[in-house]
């Protein structure tokens, strides 16, 4: 009796461990990551290629650090991104230290100040998996 229960418990634990391993392999238990956009340069000119080689996931957090008033962060649609249109953003951030949590999908951010987007490459496209 005691032996039978012990066996069942061990089997349950083994199954549990296998499931845990599968979840870990799948990245399901991975904690959300925080990225400082532009790394040490922050949200600044020529940030456009900062995303190269990075993988983003839903619930990751982007931190945009910049001098308040000198830059801002506009979340725009694909057209706004392609044409650096700052007149109709989805949302506007301008604290100088903005934290944006990514939903799954494609996100576009540009700087809406002067011609920083069109002439300064201050734009990023983020695909959150």
Ligand X SMILES: *[C@@H]1O[C@H](CO)[C@@H](O)[C@H](O)[C@H]1NC(C)=O
User: Which residues contact ligand X by CB under 6 A?
Assistant: 46, 48-49, 121
Q: Which is nearer to ligand X, 26 or 40 (by Cβ)?
A: 40
Task: Count CA within 13 A, CB hemisphere, residue 105.
Answer: 7
**Least Cβ distance, residue 38 to Cu ion (angstroms):** 11
**Least Cβ distance, residue 40 to Cu ion (angstroms):** 17
Task: Return d(Cα 111, Cα 96) in angstroms, integer.
Answer: 12
**Least Cβ distance, residue 102 to Cu ion (angstroms):** 21
Of 53, 94, 48, the closest CA to residue 71 belongs to 94
Task: Return d(Cα 74, Cα 31) in angstroms, integer.
Answer: 26
Site string for Cu ion, 58-97 (x = CB under 5 A): -------------x--------------------------
Task: Return d(Cα 72, Cα 97) in angstroms, integer.
Answer: 10
Q: Which is nearer to ligand X, 100 or 124 (by Cβ)?
A: 124
């Amino acid at each position: 009796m005691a032996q039978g229960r012990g066996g069942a418990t061990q089997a349950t634990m083994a199954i549990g461990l296998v499931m845990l391993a599968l979840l870990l392999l799948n990245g399901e238990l991975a904690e959300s990551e925080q990225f400082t956009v532009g790394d040490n340069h922050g949200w600044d000119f020529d940030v456009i290629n900062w995303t190269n080689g990075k993988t983003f996931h839903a619930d990751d957090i982007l931190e945009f650090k910049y001098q308040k008033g000198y830059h801002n962060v506009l979340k725009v649609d694909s057209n706004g991104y392609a044409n650096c249109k700052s007149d109709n953003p989805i949302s506007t951030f301008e604290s100088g230290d903005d934290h944006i949590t990514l939903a799954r999908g494609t996100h576009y951010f540009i700087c809406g100040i002067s011609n920083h987007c069109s002439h300064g490459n201050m734009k990023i496209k983020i695909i959150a998996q």
